[in-house]
Amino acid sequence: MKNNILCALMGGICAASGALAQDLKFPPGVDDRFDWASYDALKQIDLRGQRLTLLGPWLGPDKALVESVLAYFEAATGAEVVYSGSDSFEQQIVIDAEGGSPPDIAIFPQPGLAADLAKKGRLVPLPEGTRDWIKAHYAAGESWAAYGNYEGPEGARHQYAFPFKADVKSLVWYVPENFEDAGYDVPQTMEELKALTEQIVADGGTPWCIGLGSGGATGWPATDWVEDFMLRLNPPGDYDAWVANRLRFDDPKVIAAIEDFGWFARDDAFVAGGAGAVATTDFRDSPKGLFSAPPQCYLHRQASFIPSFFPEGVVVGQDADFFYFPAYADKDLGQPVLGAGTMFAKLTRNPAADAFLKFLESPIAHEVWMAQTGFVTPFKSVNTDLYGDETLHKMGDILLNATTFRFDGSDLMPGAIGAGAFWTGMVDYVGGKPAEAVAHQIQTTWDTLK
């Protein structure tokens, strides 16, 4: 933070009084949309003279954003907070934890790594009641709490991680002007989405742009499709069992999810360039067909990050928009959402770390980032009017309306599967290999890991 830099320039002769009010992005009490009462409550915690260290994956603009949030904890409590970002976080946190010099708090982009460290005794359980708080205050809170609940070295489960900052994957992108010109409505159910797909073909158009290309990671976009269909065809317990290999990859339920993806991706009439182009089209190039004249496609399913690869000048909310990848009306499985998120976990018993966890339970910790960019939250108590733009607001609403949230399944599977056999299997599938054979091939690989 700015005040810490000033302290350094002054030879370190500074009171540990936290961030100055003028350093805060939004001055306390000025904008009444923020929950300033939750900020004022933090002032009862006196951490003057104490230091809290955090290590996470955020660099560049994201580092500046998280530091703008941490400044409020500093200002309210008097603690000195030092955040370090690393583009090799996954390797660095293991080195630091096992080398005896861990940060007080680590920010994990994948729960699997946090679970591994908890099992090895490198993480410290969160304060009593944290799990119940998450379940009560987050939409689909049971789902979110589960992603931070791991086995410790003694075999008992504890809440080791607190979810903060979510990503939404269950999205379909489109160009509103193209829909308006063609007279299409945004589908509200999977049945309507399939009917729209067929209608576009009947009208002489091509419904979808799909690309699985990603260099050495080619195939991963298809895993998101399959995961979304697992949640739309089956109860969430089946999804959990599949991710943990208690439900085999070659189970008929999984094969059905693969084939539902294939309904969209393996029909030459449904995909720009034909089914043969799906595996060879780079995922970063695939949405560009939405913006050609005439459009090469009308629909593109991809996560919230994809606008980064839209043509220059495209304004989300005007030139492009999105809708929720809908559930089947006849399955009665609610509104499942596939996504990802970051998890805050303790690696030391620094009392300031427990106080920081309480800070994450305050609306202000979420609202400061919400009011800027790149942040959505399932926290039900925040003021959603604070979202920095309408796109984030809509994504936040999708999270808040979710009846089930599940983390990207391939990220939870062993690397040999989720970042290996699953990817290559999907390439084989769009290339014409039967779903049963692909599923059996992936399961055979999983069996060899035992």
Q: Is the pLDDT of residue 6 over 50?
A: no
The C-alpha atoms of residue 88 and residue 349 are separated, in whole angstroms, by 25
Better-scored residue on pLDDT, 305 or 353: 353
pLDDT score for 218: 95
Mean pLDDT of the region 315-327? 96
What is the C-alpha R_g of the chain?
Answer: 23
Token pair, residue 52, equals 């809290």
Better-scored residue on pLDDT, 372 or 415: 372
User: Is 1:74 a contact under the CB 8 Å cutoff?
Assistant: yes
Q: Tell whether 183 and 106 lie within a shared domain.
A: no
Mean pLDDT of the region 267-275? 98
pLDDT score for 18: 39
pLDDT score for 305: 87
Neighbours of 20 (CB within 10 A): 14
Neighbours of 329 (CB within 10 A): 11
Task: Specify if 250 maps to a domain.
Answer: yes
User: Which CATH number fits the domain that encloses residue 199?
Assistant: 3.40.190.10
Mean pLDDT of the region 26-51? 97
- The fraction of the chain above a pLDDT of 90, given in percent, is 88
Least confident of 9-18, 21-30, 66-75: 9-18
Q: Tell whether 255 and 347 lie within a shared domain.
A: no
Q: Tell whether 298 and 154 lie within a shared domain.
A: no
Report the number of secondary-structure helices (H) and strands (E) in the chain.
19, 11
Q: Tell whether 223 and 175 lie within a shared domain.
A: yes
Task: Specify if 17 maps to a domain.
Answer: no
Mean pLDDT of the region 173-184? 98
Q: Tell whether 126 and 233 lie within a shared domain.
A: no
Q: Tell whether 377 and 306 lie within a shared domain.
A: no
pLDDT tens track for 425-438 = 999 999 999 999 99
Mean pLDDT of the region 361-370? 98
Q: Tell whether 162 and 183 lie within a shared domain.
A: no
Q: Is the pLDDT of residue 4 over 70?
A: no
Q: Tell whether 178 and 254 lie within a shared domain.
A: yes
Output helix, strand, coil percentages for the chain, rounded to the nearest 5.
Answer: 45, 15, 40
Q: Tell whether 155 and 185 lie within a shared domain.
A: no
Mean pLDDT of the region 112-122? 93
pTM: 0.84
Q: 30: exposed, middle or buried (C-beta count within 10 Å: 0-12, 13-18, 19+)? A: exposed
Mean pLDDT of the region 394-407? 94
**pLDDT, averaged across the chain:** 93
pLDDT score for 393: 94
Q: Is the pLDDT of residue 397 over 50?
A: yes
User: Is 176:316 a contact under the CB 8 Å cutoff?
Assistant: no
What number of residues does the chain have?
A: 450
pLDDT confidence band for 308 (50 / 70 / 90): confident
Type of residue at 426: M
Number of domains in the chain: 2
Q: How far is CA 87 from CA 91, 93, 95, 139, in A?
A: 9, 11, 14, 30
pLDDT score for 23: 83
The C-alpha atoms of residue 303 and residue 324 are separated, in whole angstroms, by 11
Q: Is the pLDDT of residue 75 over 50?
A: yes
Task: Specify if 16 maps to a domain.
Answer: no
Task: Specify if 23 maps to a domain.
Answer: no
Q: Tell whether 304 and 318 lie within a shared domain.
A: yes
Task: Specify if 64 maps to a domain.
Answer: yes
Q: Tell whether 129 and 246 lie within a shared domain.
A: no
pLDDT score for 259: 98
pLDDT confidence band for 312 (50 / 70 / 90): very high
Mean pLDDT of the region 345-371? 97
- The fraction of the chain above a pLDDT of 70, given in percent, is 95
Q: Is the pLDDT of residue 50 over 70?
A: yes
User: Is 195:185 a contact under the CB 8 Å cutoff?
Assistant: no
Mean pLDDT of the region 331-347? 95
Task: Specify if 13 maps to a domain.
Answer: no
Q: Tell whether 316 and 206 lie within a shared domain.
A: yes
pLDDT score for 129: 95
pLDDT score for 254: 98
Range of the domain at 259: 171-337+409-447
